[in-house]
Amino acid sequence: MCCRYYYEDQIREMMEDLRASQTIKLAEPLQVEPGRDIHPSDASAVICRDGDDLYAKNMRWGFDNPYAKGLIINARAETAMEKNLFSDSILNRRCVIPASGFYEWDAYKARFRFFLPGELLFMAGFYREEQGVPRYTILTTEANETMKPIHDRMPVMIGKDEIRPWIADNEKLSEFLERPQIRLVREQDSGQIRMDFGF
């Protein structure tokens, strides 16, 4: 699961480096304020495709829920292709959500953050327009050893060099959704515990 992520102080510089290295065009000034936590319904930077080009633009986090109050902020990778609410978007409007890291809470309400030191994380997602506003949701999958002690779900992660294939290559879609997830660092909010898990 992912219900909160964040930007650290170097986010602007890292986004500029990413745009230059991946030839990502800028559709508008990005809302990537250093030190900011991103909550559901917030607008934040997302990378998507327009024709053959990649663009960075702002989108709001969460689809309107047609069945209940609130927003749909995550979609299960295992079943997204089967859901009417998601299937068209995941086939035709995939995106990548850059972050410095994300948060998760354990059963005792202790908060942990997950990140890669000195690197951006890239979470897989997809988007659609609702009343003229682009909105995205983040794909989640079964947790790997990094996450299992805290939660049974985690975001589907994309490598820096995989941004374009994830967004544009339908033939690789199943591979991205089914593969094991990358190693992350897990750190408790207090800073007293820092552990590196993986497989």
pLDDT in tens, the chain (199 residues): 678 999 999 999 999 999 999 999 999 999 999 999 999 999 999 999 999 999 999 999 999 998 888 999 999 999 999 999 999 999 999 999 999 999 999 988 999 999 999 999 999 999 999 999 999 999 999 999 999 999 999 999 999 999 999 999 999 999 999 999 999 999 997 644 444 444 3
Amino acid 67: pLDDT: 86
Q: How far apart are CA 134 and CA 131, in angstroms?
A: 8
Please give the class, per CATH, of domain 5-191.
alpha beta
Q: How many residues does the chain have?
A: 199
Amino acid 1: pLDDT: 64
Q: How far apart are CA 178 and CA 110, in angstroms?
A: 29
Residue 114 one-letter amino acid: F
Give per-residue pLDDT as tens, 141-169. 999 999 999 999 999 999 999 999 999 99
Amino acid 43: pLDDT: 97
Q: How far apart are CA 140 and CA 152, in angstroms?
A: 10
Of residues 85, 81, 59, the one with CA closest to residue 72: 85
Give per-residue pLDDT as tens, 110-119. 999 999 999 9
Q: How far apart are CA 38 and CA 61, in angstroms?
A: 9
CA distances, 99 to each of 51, 67, 123, 189 (Å): 25, 29, 8, 17
